[in-house]
Structure 1
């Protein structure tokens, strides 16, 4: 993936691919890579999308790792859905809708609303459904809470500021499990 990242950076510096210029003479943001996931970002144009597709094809020929375009999604920020669908059909991928989940994070969701934290509550409750509080000692319950339950929302809390209702709701579930 490092080679792919280098290819993208060279394409941006050569003007083949247009990234997003951050304000105040900031960086040009063109892609994010994590393990085998790649997110392209750039100006919305036919040439930019085709250049991204050509880069992926070139990477396939060089590395032998084929990118499954059929599984890919195309998102347009501030672009009409008809235009996104048109471009997606040209690229042979699917149009995406906001909000969506990427690497376990809701992108485009309003995380200041309690409803957006439903996934965290669902994980809490699914874990608790597997455990029987009545057969565990108080020490066992405290250990499970500290080692498992308290680590579940850490990823979300490192990215988003949780509403007070979310924190209180998670604490309520935890207290209910602790005291049986």
Structure 2
């Protein structure tokens, strides 16, 4: 994968492919052409036939030299905004045309940061975990441990990049509260306050 990264760097230095600029000042601009995580690679380039051809050659050389094979069935080209003749560009590069937003490494790629729909997957995962745990008849301490260690981690990963809408936070709080205060399938207390009454 380091060899693939080096080939893309060389293509950028020779202006065979161009990524996107990050930074607001002329001297601090950084050009991003690719991002890699384990065996996943995101490549950014302009909508030009020549750049697609150069990328295709890089991928072919990578396969021959490394004896690794790119899974073209799982490879997608994602157009940003309107792209003319995107099907032909995808045919040159290989793979299929995908649509944004999509999920990449568990994160919504290309989604609006304030869109409520991108949090549906997180809430569904929380509900799925709770459904499994409900059948185990855990004591209060066990339920509290599961909430603290597992359930809180699911939204935290997404919140490391995107702010959670208030209604999503409230929904997750309701799920946690109902799970914590249940007993044998019955909700014994939805919340508690610090007072003299017993809880």
Q: TM-score, normalised by structure 2?
A: 0.84
Q: Following the alignment from structure 1 to structure 2, what is the Cα–Cα distance between the partners of residues 145 and 62?
A: 48
**2:103 aligned partner:** 101
From 50, 55, 58, the equivalent of 2:58 is 55
**1:19 aligned partner:** 19
1:82-93 to structure 2, matched below 5 A, reads 83-93=85-95
**Which has the larger displacement, 120-129 or 10-19?**
10-19
Q: TM-score, normalised by structure 1?
A: 0.92
Q: Following the alignment from structure 1 to structure 2, what is the Cα–Cα distance between the partners of residues 76 and 132?
A: 43
**2:115 aligned partner:** 113
For structure 1, which runs of at least 5 residues remain unmatched after alignment? none
CA contact (8 A) 2:56 2:92 kept: no
Q: Following the alignment from structure 1 to structure 2, what is the Cα–Cα distance between the partners of residues 137 and 44?
A: 58
**2:174 aligned partner:** 172
CA contact (8 A) 2:116 2:165 kept: yes
Q: Following the alignment from structure 1 to structure 2, what is the Cα–Cα distance between the partners of residues 31 and 83?
A: 23
Q: What do residues 78-130 of structure 1 show as CA deviations (whole Å, max 9, x unaligned)?
A: 233x5222211333321010111111111122231322210000000000010
DSSP-derived class of the 1:32 partner: strand
Aligned pair in 2 of structure 1 residues 88, 154: CA closer, same or farther (>3 Å)? same
1:129 aligns with 2:131: yes
Q: Following the alignment from structure 1 to structure 2, what is the Cα–Cα distance between the partners of residues 67 and 116?
A: 29
**Which has the larger displacement, 45-54 or 103-112?**
103-112
Q: What do residues 12-52 of structure 1 show as CA deviations (whole Å, max 9, x unaligned)?
A: 11222222233423111100111111111011100011111
Higher helix proportion (structure 1 or 2) = 1
From 44, 47, 53, the equivalent of 1:44 is 47
**1:154 aligned partner:** 156
CA shift for structure 1 position 133: 6.9
Q: Following the alignment from structure 2 to structure 1, what is the Cα–Cα distance between the partners of residues 136 and 77?
A: 49
Q: Following the alignment from structure 1 to structure 2, what is the Cα–Cα distance between the partners of residues 31 and 86?
A: 22
The aligned length equals 179
Q: Following the alignment from structure 2 to structure 1, what is the Cα–Cα distance between the partners of residues 66 and 136?
A: 55
Q: Following the alignment from structure 1 to structure 2, what is the Cα–Cα distance between the partners of residues 134 and 13?
A: 58
Question: RMSD across aligned C-alpha pairs, in angstroms?
Answer: 1.6
**2:185 aligned partner:** none
